[in-house]
Amino acid sequence: MESTVPFLSPVSQSPENHFSFYHNFELFYMENIAQNNSFDQTQTLESAFSGLNVSGYPDLPDSGYQFGGGFARAGQDRNNNVIGEGTKVGPDVESWGAFMYSSYQLGSSRNTEFSILPSSNQTRLLSAAASAAGCTMPFGLNNNINRSSFNTSKLCNNNQTRPHWLHEPLNCLSLGDLRGRLVALAKDQYGCKFLQKSVEKASKEEIDMVFMEVIDHVCELMSNSFANFVVQKVVDVCSEEQKNQILLMVVKNRFRLVEICLNLHGARAVQKLLEKLTTQQQISLFMSALSPGAVALSKDLNGHRVIQYCLKNFSDEDNKYFLNVVANNCYQIALDKCGCCALKHCLDHSNGEARAHLFQEIIANALNLAKDQYGNYVVQHILELKETQTTESLLRQLQGNYASLSCNRYGSNVVERCLLESEEPLTTRIIVELLRSPIVSTLLLDPFGNYVIQSALSVSKGFVFDALLNLVQDHYPIMRSHSYGKWVLAWFSRRKQLHM
Query: Per-residue pLDDT for 45 more than 70?
Result: no
CA distance 415 to 456: 10
Q: How many CB atoms lie within 10 A of CB 374?
A: 18
Quick one: which of 309, 312, 379 has its CA closest to 340?
379
Highest-pLDDT range among 8-22, 135-149, 421-435: 421-435
CA distance 355 to 358: 5
User: 269: how many CB neighbours lie within 10 A of its CB?
Assistant: 28
What is the predicted pLDDT for the residue at 233? 94
Question: How confident is the model at residue 493, as a pLDDT?
Answer: 78
pLDDT at 249: 95
Residue 493's contacts (CB-CB under 8 Å, 6 or more residues apart) are: none
| pLDDT over threshold 50, residue 444 | yes
Residue 47 above 80 pLDDT? Answer: no
* pLDDT range class, residue 172, cuts 50, 70, 90: low
Name the residue among 216, 217, 182, 214 with its Cα closest to residue 198. Answer: 182
Q: What is the pLDDT of residue 245?
A: 95
**Is 272 a residue whose pLDDT tops 60?**
yes
- Residues 182-212: tens digit of each pLDDT: 898 899 888 888 899 889 888 999 899 999 9
Q: C-alpha distances in angstroms, 252 versus 213, 249, 255, 271, 289?
A: 18, 5, 9, 17, 8
For residue 461, what is the DSSP state? Answer: -
Q: Report the C-alpha gap between 103 and 7 in whole angstroms.
A: 26
The answer, yes or no, to whether residue 258 has pLDDT greater than 70, is yes
Environment class of 206 (CB within 10 Å of its CB; exposed 0-12, middle 13-18, buried 19+): middle
Element (H, E) at 84: strand 81-84
List CB contacts of 309: < 8 A, sequence separation 6 or more. Answer: 271, 274
- To the nearest 10 degrees (0 to 180), the angle between helices 264-275 and 227-237 is 0
Mean pLDDT of 354-381: 96
pLDDT band at 492 (very low <50, low <70, confident <90, very high): confident
- Contact (CB, 8 A) for 28 and 108: no
Please tell me the predicted confidence (pLDDT) of residue 431.
95
Please state, in angstroms and rounded to a whole number, the distance separating the CA atoms of residues 127 and 130.
Answer: 5
The DSSP 8-state label assigned to residue 68 in this structure reads: T
Give the mean pLDDT of the chain.
Answer: 75
- Paired with 267 in beta bridges are none
pLDDT digits (tens, 9 = 90+) for 222-248: 999 999 999 999 999 999 999 999 999
| H helix runs in 50-188, sequence order | 93-104, 122-133, 153-160, 182-186
- The Cα 327–Cα 325 span in angstroms is 5
Task: Say what the pLDDT of residue 282 is.
Answer: 95
- Residue 15 burial by Cβ neighbours in a 10 Å radius (0-12, 13-18, 19+): middle
Contact predicate 261/267, CB 8 Å: yes
Task: Give the model confidence (pLDDT) of 131-159 as tens digits.
Answer: 444 444 443 334 433 333 333 333 334 44
Quote the pLDDT of residue 399.
Answer: 94
Q: Which residues of 453-475 are buried (b: 16+ CB within 10 A; e: fewer)?
A: bbbbbebbeeebbeebeebbeeb
Q: Answer with the residue of higher pLDDT: 6 or 178.
A: 178
Record the pTM. 0.65
List the domain boundaries for the chain.
399-499
Please list the residues that pair with 73 across neighbouring strands. 65
pLDDT tens per residue, range 91-115? 343 443 443 344 334 344 434 333 3
Residues 438 and 427: their CA atoms lie apart, in Å, by 19
Q: Could you give the percent of the chain with pLDDT greater than 70?
A: 64
% of residues, the chain, pLDDT over 90: 52
In the chain, DSSP finds a helix count (H) and a strand count (E) of 31, 2
